[in-house]
Amino acid sequence: MSAVSVAVVEQWEAFQQGGAPRDVPRQILDSWKRSKWNRIRPDTLPVPWREVPDDVPLLRTAEPILAHATDSLPTSQTALSLADEHGHIVWRWASDTDFARTLDRGDMQYGSVFDEAAIGTNGIGTALHTGRTAVVIGAQHYVREYHRWACAAAPVRHPRTGRIVGAVNVSTRAEYANGFLRIAVDATARQLEQALELDLTSSERTLHDAFRLRAARSSSPLVAVNAKTLITDASSARLSLNHRMLWRRVRDAAGGARVEIGDDLSARVVFVDDHETAAGAILELVARRTPAERATDDAEPPAARRLTPLEHAEFTTIREALDRSGGRKTEAARYLGISRSTLYEKLRHYQLG
């Protein structure tokens, strides 16, 4: 083990014992703090696993780009993977069969979920959380089990909404880490973003543009939908909306009408084209409350009462945006895609400092 590696291990151990490590990159130290806050066990932790859906829209665009990217990677001890916005690995390539088996034994496999909130500091999870490329080498990982690995991951943003839709990741053994890892994932992520733009049909571009314009003047969580496309903002993305069910309800509604989305959620429908329903619609989401709940709301501040699922999603999203930006309001508003005045209105409503 090199002197640098030993120093990183010592800093990791100091942090786990409650000390204040020095010379740790800010991105890594902030992630360690979040991991501790999330009560991640640093000694051992199983990686969550979920079935990969048969149809992953991002993967349809990404697969040829990823396949081409493997040509420039080393032919041994290297892996390239694509995760969705939740850190769920939906595609993986390994340089050789033996290394693929090693990755599988270490839970770095197709279907694994590398969410930072679930397994602590790691390339994919930290890149998705911060919205920036993350390079995590050896003991910079929060969980000791991953100290033998080096990972670099770059977030992929949708070219129209700016929302993170996934992450490209390269993994290798810690002793093989070098500056090429960052270069490789940054280049591949940018190529994927360009391909996403080219893959948009004219109707999808129209829907995305309408969504962006509405978001600029609305303080409500928004969804844009047509038969083939579902666009969410950071708040509505947490609601796990059913695309097909939602479009059926919207398609049969009149412009300006409200549609019921769930027991405590409705939406105002604004069609993109008044003469062509198929072009899609923008939905402004509204939490529904009973008269008794509304009376309670008038008497209690938001922090003291139970939030609806929509409010909880919005509250959590705003709090995470503030965390990502280090409390800087302008940066948080930019990440959320809202104005500073709208953000301050939300902060007052949810009593967030």
Q: How confident is the model at residue 300 (pLDDT cuts 50, 70, 90)?
A: very low
The reply to whether the predicted model has a pTM over 0.75 is: no
Which of 199, 224, 249 is a domain's end point? Answer: 199
Q: Domain span at residue 321?
A: 200-353
* Cα 156 to Cα 263: distance, rounded to the nearest angstrom: 34
Q: What are the tokens at 148? A: 């033998």
Residues 164 and 100 in one domain: yes
Residues 314 and 175 in one domain: no
Q: CATH no. for residue 31?
A: 3.30.450.40
Give the percent of the chain with pLDDT over 90: 44
Residues 195 and 209 in one domain: no
| pLDDT per residue as tens digits for the range 201-242 | 888 888 989 998 998 888 888 999 998 888 888 888 878 788
Residues 174 and 271 in one domain: no
Give me the DSSP letters along 222-291.
EEEE-SS-EEE-TTGGGG---HHHHHHHHHTSPTT-EEEEETTEEEEEEES-TT-GGG-EEEEEEE---H
**Total count of domains within the chain:** 2
Residues 110 and 174 in one domain: yes
Residues 246 and 132 in one domain: no
* Cα 273 to Cα 246: distance, rounded to the nearest angstrom: 18
Residues 8 and 155 in one domain: yes
Residues 20 and 106 in one domain: yes
Residue range 74-93: mean pLDDT, rounded: 93
Residue with tokens 């008038």, as numbered in its chain:
298
Which of 146, 170, 199 is a domain's end point? Answer: 199
Residues 226 and 320 in one domain: yes
Residues 300 and 228 in one domain: yes
